[in-house]
Structure 1
Amino acid sequence: MLDGEAYAGDDVWDDGEWISWDWISSQLEDDGVDEPALTEDRSFGRDGYPLSVLEQARILEELVDCASRHFENTGRYLQIWGELGELYAEVKWGLRRHGTHHPGSDGTIGGRLVEVKTISPEKSSNKVFVKSQGDFEQLLIVQIDSDFNFRAKLFEREALQGQLSKTLRGRLVDEQT
């Protein structure tokens, strides 16, 4: 259910259309791309990239489906918003997460340090706050709505409010306004 409507199949929603896993697999086979085998400890490879971005997309879809079903069954949300936001950033934005804890940023996009903040459907505001001493150059705000649809925007650190305070503020604003 990423960036689109609910769909009964297990395909991927990308840039306004559904793409089947069969088609994706056939493209990988046709291009001769071989995903590296998972290591015993399931560590990250390729300098911060997961061993299989395709597998990360599958995991994200499954977690979103699980969280949605849990909400439908209990009326309560699973508190996994930050992880969903970072997985979405990996799959959709090419985030390369740090292999170990790196205070002040979650990873890099295009070689630049990025902090990811996720707005859950439980939040009434579209504002986020980050510590100004954080080691990041860009802020990616990911919003997940009550239907588990995602949207995101990448901000330059300089564009955030509060440059002289302890916290910087960013806001995800509707493009229509």
Structure 2
Amino acid sequence: MGDWDFLYEMRERGYSPEEIADAASCGVAPWQWKDIDREWVDSELEVVLEDDLNSFEPDEKFQSRDGFPYCPDEHIEIFQSLVDCAARHFENTGRYLQVWGELGEIYAEIKFGLCRHGTHRAGSDGTIAGKLVEVKTISPERAGDRVFVKRQGDFEQLLIIRIDQNFQFQGKLFERSELKGSAGKYLRGQMKFDQGLY
């Protein structure tokens, strides 16, 4: 189970969006709290609060880096809300919202540490650990497991995100050299469905 998979489990167990957001902000599921020492938590909070107070400047406005979320905790909450909204829309209408690319990239930010470029940059979507990455999302509407990406892109890695019909996410990162298609305009990546959740 991945670091953030407990958020899906909380949703399945019937926790409210507020409880899920709280768990996302601290990185711990409610049933894991019994394993965390209260004195340690209090001491860590004192250090964090002291550091925050020492560095706080009231007139200073926070500026995010190009393409990076202002608040990671809020970003997780927004992602969960978007997934819930897309699922509710499908349940209500039988049609999918066409938000797959954005959901895939937000998931990549949260799960893989993608730092997205600003808008309208061709060739790659962002970086992970300093490498240029192109993100391709396979929606629940697609039966296939292949994606195509333009060969001319400057990406070093391809991240394939798969969203299934239950709005569960999988992801796998490929090196450019692993992609198929020695000739032509496109390279092809393939994600096997039996690879399990990441």
TM over 0.5, yes or no? yes
Corresponding residue for 1:80?
A: 99
TM superposition shift of 1:44: 6.2
Is the alpha carbon distance of 1:108 and 1:71 closer, same or farther for their aligned partners in structure 2, counting shifts above 3 Å? same
SS of corresponding position for 1:46: coil
Corresponding residue for 2:80?
A: 61
* Unmatched 5+ stretches in structure 1: none
**Does structure 1 retain, via aligned residues, the 8 Å contact 2:116–2:125?**
yes
Q: Deviations over 1:57-86 (max 9, x none)?
A: 110000000000000001000000000000
Matched to 2:29, the amino acid is I
1:32 is matched with which residue: 34, 48, 59?
A: 48
1:155 is matched with which residue: 152, 163, 174?
A: 174
Q: TM-score, normalised by structure 1?
A: 0.80
**Does structure 2 retain, via aligned residues, the 8 Å contact 1:44–1:99?**
no
Runs of 4+ in 1 over 3 A off after TM superposition: 2-5, 33-37
Question: Could you say which structure has the larger radius of gyration?
Answer: 2
Q: Deviations over 1:113-132 (max 9, x none)?
A: 00000000000001000000
| Structure 1 vs Structure 2 CA RMSD | 3.1
Is the alpha carbon distance of 1:137 and 1:70 closer, same or farther for their aligned partners in structure 2, counting shifts above 3 Å? same
Q: Within 2, Cα distance between the matches of 1:44 and 1:111?
A: 21
SS of corresponding position for 1:133: coil
Q: TM-score, normalised by structure 2?
A: 0.72
SS of corresponding position for 1:124: coil
1:145 is matched with which residue: 158, 164, 179?
A: 164
Corresponding residue for 1:175?
A: 195
Is the alpha carbon distance of 1:81 and 1:60 closer, same or farther for their aligned partners in structure 2, counting shifts above 3 Å? same
TM superposition shift of 1:47: 5.0
Q: Within 1, Cα distance between the matches of 2:161 and 2:172?
A: 7
Corresponding residue for 2:114?
A: 95
Q: Deviations over 1:65-113 (max 9, x none)?
A: 0000000001000000000000000011110001232101100000110
More helix by share: 2
Is the alpha carbon distance of 1:54 and 1:119 closer, same or farther for their aligned partners in structure 2, counting shifts above 3 Å? same
Q: Within 2, Cα distance between the matches of 1:113 and 1:54?
A: 24
1:8 is matched with which residue: 4, 9, 14?
A: 14
Identity of aligned residues (%): 55
Corresponding residue for 1:19?
A: 29
